[in-house]
Structure 1
């Protein structure tokens, strides 16, 4: 048995691999759906619970931030105790958290239940990615499988506003959480029935200091950005939060470099493709978090559309995202990640750039064009991020490497909501004028995706990736001895 293979008597057949992929996709769908379905309900939640803009930001970021903080821990937990076991546990916590969110009596309770729900959500995406990576061992087949996985994950993110609009308009905002419960129960059964257990040959030791430093880095950064407009950027609270984050990230680098089995494997960042993929995940997903937050408030509060109308108007974006997620897998399998990353960045910049000029009377065709361009770029970017992040690294580290990449995705989405929300909350010329600045920032993130994609996929980057992979493997063998 290989280091990360399932303890089965023989390899899975192609049909068995397909069933495993479908099960992982179903589970990832509900987690991705919940990351965006809440956006379309924000105006309804604001009216029902009396929430300020900062409260709406926390309703989104309580979920994405907790996931970002726990993803690496969940990835190492799965590698150590078994990916199927942790996957099922995550589904159970996620489903219970969804039920609690649906009965939340106040904004504070909703934020707390969203955080609890995210504890389960943190055990889904990185573990599903690891299951897919260890099930499909042939590189081209793995690239295609990751493309399908990315398409479903992307479709879930893009479907949130559409499905959410239907549910909010018909049944109220609490119904957006009901849908997760039966799907979660079905996914738990399918995982136990079809997904083989797998784990690393030697699981990593727990790293409580590293986990604490991750929390005290990501949490204060997000809190400072969200609360800055309300308390003032020079207030002791905000300055203190930024200072705590700076000290934590410095401590994280110093402490983790000295640990034999760190939570955050700093050695991975010696690989230019991995470091580039992490940065691309951060800036590209900033555009998604910011796009969904800004667009929801724009369509409902500025244009006066109903949740259903707003959701339907984003269908072209959802369709483009789903189609190009699948196209991305094929491009990466045939040509590598470079072309997909460059095209993704250009389309992200074009879509968000068009929305810089959006106002109260902007034509519908103009919005749809921007949505299609943005959706295509967002669909293209996921698969090459994953492929680039794993380039040159040992397969036995797939869970941890995938978790770090997913952490950057979630962090980017949380920061995107925090930054864009702070821009519109602190703007003096109203939402429309302030949103132009936010859209320009997101367009800049698209340009950064292009530049980082070019830098992290060249020959120099590939050569250094192989060297970094050998160093990680050597260190892992020394730790095992």
Structure 2
């Protein structure tokens, strides 16, 4: 059955009988994104308070963040394919329930180990929410213009979450305590669960992908062994036997994944996609961009509170310029990508991110506020510019039947970047801290800022490398591997230059 027939089967009931319910459907989906995104940024602000209350080391704080994002990254693809197979509303509701129960557990956690365990449960729930919610939105708005507006509002929710998370988190930590960050998820999660049962119609794919348990186990093995080795290696030593064994396991699973997936008719991760230079570039850019953001937020939170001595609320308010830069640059990025292709916004994003990180390479306990705020604004603008061209490049030249899968893989790359940012930057600080107290942390963070600056240059380079004619030719060759819904070479070149259309006025 073709992609067009699948869309007809899944969207006709919605178009005929559920048009008036599409608004509430969008609201429920945006609500799920809001609580998961606010939770992530709010927890970053609460890390110093968690460390003091539960006597956590830097590696313990890393796991508090990475336990959540690791679960999201490892199971996002599985959640999407399962929703297509058994029903999107059912999986969405299961995700809401698990995220809400995980939040309750986090708020009651008696020790760091329990907190990390419940953060993993939250992450498993979140892996069922965002990709499935986007699929629900796509099917709830069959009209392309209405869908564009809905997805635009969905994207705006990300910016609002980035702005609100640190402020809400800081206010709650300063007034009630860090556990209250998880309390607010409970009534919102319950409300979203009830609203989903009332307003969200169920849908599923007419040609659902078959389960791939071996591929899923290999993905979990790769991510878990890598993140564990990075975080714990700074404490146990990267030459110690357990860490070396984990790195060997990661390498073996990484080699086994493409070898196994090539033999499957419906692989979890199709290695053919990575023969497309634009797709591979978008995946690397997604990993790099979110590595930069998560690493920055992790280091900056500890710096503002532990080095500068600010409260959680004050630290949250000081990051508002970063969110403002993101909010201003995001709509510009969509329009620029539509008019000029992905190269200009990717190059500009990379250079802005590099400039932001370079201003912090001499960070100390008395760095002027003008320097810090300049870095925040530059990073926010760079991050705001990067998302639209990443999505555009990921689907450039891909057949329509594969666009959803390619987008899901790139979304997983974003979560992998979140994991690596906290793991790598936190481990660098731990390994380089020589002097105790404020001066020790500030000096230890310098290699981290250089790494983030290098990440910006990588993104700028990808912006050039993925938009050459040779690169788009590689996407055309990949497209021919999917004859059921292929595209011509001229369409591939057009897709590489014009992909993201802004919503009509």
Give yes or no for TM over 0.5.
yes
Structure 2 contact 401–485 (Cα < 8 Å) conserved:
no
Aligned to 1:230: 235
Identify which of structures 1 and 2 has the higher relative contact order when contacts are C-alpha pairs closer than 8 Å and 6+ apart: 1
Q: Distance in 1 between matches of 2:92 and 2:462?
A: 32
Cα offsets for 1:233-291 (capped at 9, x unmatched): 11111111111000000000100111111111222222222211111110110001100
Q: Does 1:392 align with 2:378?
A: no
CA offset at residue 11 of structure 1? 2.8
Q: Distance in 1 between matches of 2:131 and 2:227?
A: 22
Cα offsets for 1:435-474 (capped at 9, x unmatched): 1110110111011011112222334333432442342354
Structure 2 contact 37–162 (Cα < 8 Å) conserved:
yes
Count of aligned residue pairs for this structure pair: 476
Which of these residues, 341, 355, 377, is aligned with residue 350 of structure 1?
355
Q: Distance in 2 between matches of 1:351 and 1:24?
A: 33
Q: Distance in 1 between matches of 2:241 and 2:76?
A: 30
Consecutive unaligned residues in structure 1, runs of 5 or more: 477-481
Q: Does 1:436 align with 2:446?
A: yes
Cα offsets for 1:362-396 (capped at 9, x unmatched): 12222111101111111222222223222333444
Alignment of 1:206-355 (within 5 A): 206-355=211-360
Structure 2 contact 14–139 (Cα < 8 Å) conserved:
no
CA offset at residue 50 of structure 1? 0.7
CA offset at residue 328 of structure 1? 2.4
**Which has the higher mean CA deviation after the structures are superposed, 228-237 or 73-82?**
73-82
Q: Distance in 1 between matches of 2:357 and 2:170?
A: 22
- Secondary structure of 2:99's counterpart equals helix
Aligned to 1:479: none
Q: Distance in 1 between matches of 2:201 and 2:275?
A: 33
Q: Distance in 2 between matches of 1:61 and 1:161?
A: 18
Aligned to 1:126: 131
Would the alpha carbon gap of residues 222 and 239 (structure 1) be closer, same or farther in structure 2, given more than 3 Å must change?
A: same
Structure 2 length-normalised TM: 0.88
Which of these residues, 349, 366, 382, is aligned with residue 371 of structure 2?
366
- Secondary structure of 1:355's counterpart equals coil
Q: Distance in 2 between matches of 1:200 and 1:25?
A: 22
Q: Does 1:156 align with 2:166?
A: no
Cα offsets for 1:155-189 (capped at 9, x unmatched): 32343222111110011000111111222223233
Aligned to 2:496: none
Q: Distance in 2 between matches of 1:101 and 1:299?
A: 24
Q: Does 1:2 align with 2:5?
A: yes
Structure 2 contact 342–392 (Cα < 8 Å) conserved:
yes
Q: Distance in 1 between matches of 2:145 and 2:282?
A: 19
Structure 2 contact 11–142 (Cα < 8 Å) conserved:
no
Which of these residues, 74, 80, 102, is aligned with residue 69 of structure 1?
74
Q: Does 1:33 align with 2:43?
A: no
Would the alpha carbon gap of residues 78 and 393 (structure 1) be closer, same or farther in structure 2, given more than 3 Å must change?
A: farther
**Which has the higher mean CA deviation after the structures are superposed, 385-394 or 261-270?**
385-394
Structure 1 contact 76–399 (Cα < 8 Å) conserved:
no
Root-mean-square deviation over aligned CA pairs: 2.3
Bigger radius of gyration, 1 or 2?
2
Cα offsets for 1:389-409 (capped at 9, x unmatched): 223334444443332112111
Structure 1 length-normalised TM: 0.92
**Which has the higher mean CA deviation after the structures are superposed, 15-24 or 286-295?**
15-24
CA offset at residue 319 of structure 1? 1.8
Would the alpha carbon gap of residues 17 and 344 (structure 1) be closer, same or farther in structure 2, given more than 3 Å must change?
A: farther
Would the alpha carbon gap of residues 416 and 295 (structure 1) be closer, same or farther in structure 2, given more than 3 Å must change?
A: same
Q: Distance in 2 between matches of 1:273 and 1:14?
A: 36
CA offset at residue 313 of structure 1? 0.6
Consecutive unaligned residues in structure 2, runs of 5 or more: 487-505
Structure 2 contact 400–485 (Cα < 8 Å) conserved:
no
